[in-house]
Amino acid sequence: MTKHETIELEPEAVWQDELAGYTLRNASLGSNDEICLLLANSVPELIDGSFPQSKTTEFIDYKVILFSDGVKKIIPIPRQPWNYHYIQLLGEDQLLLVCARAIKYENGEVEENARIFDTKGNFVRSFCLGDGIEQISASADKKIWTGYFDEGVFGNYGWDDPIGKHGLINWT
């Protein structure tokens, strides 16, 4: 007969209060095992029930929770017109928020679907990582990896020659 031992587990962190009024959009690990949570006070409807919007008609209030070594940091990022899907830490002092979709317009302009904020929630810069992003990962030296789903590989939303055509890109 096998002997069973009971082990009681205690949570290391509780985010119940921070989640009130927000929806979890993404959870990721930073390059130093930080827990990164992206929360939004609203989630836009899908286009035709299938495709997420990149920009929204209503502003969204986001909240980022970073948890490392028992310390929880909450960073508000209010009034954003972007429908962010992913979060990654860039080094120790920047946040990368990314929309999965990006439109390329007939005039050649593209939506800059990647936004960098400092860890106080201040906007730093934006750029385009392409359309159809399935996965984002960032390394300690601030290299960004993007993986694309079929829309990003084969093209949609105006992309005849999609950025993600190879399926995986490492950005410096």
Tens-digit pLDDT profile for residues 160-172: 999 999 999 999 8
In the DSSP assignment, the letter for residue 51 is B
**Residue 50 pLDDT greater than 80, yes or no:** no
Residue 17 binned pLDDT confidence (cut-offs 50, 70, 90): confident
**CB distance 149 to 131 below 8 Å:** no
**Residue 46 pLDDT greater than 80, yes or no:** no
- Residue 146 CA to residue 136 CA, distance in Å, equals 5
Report residue 18 as tokens: 């921070």
**Residue 23 pLDDT greater than 80, yes or no:** yes
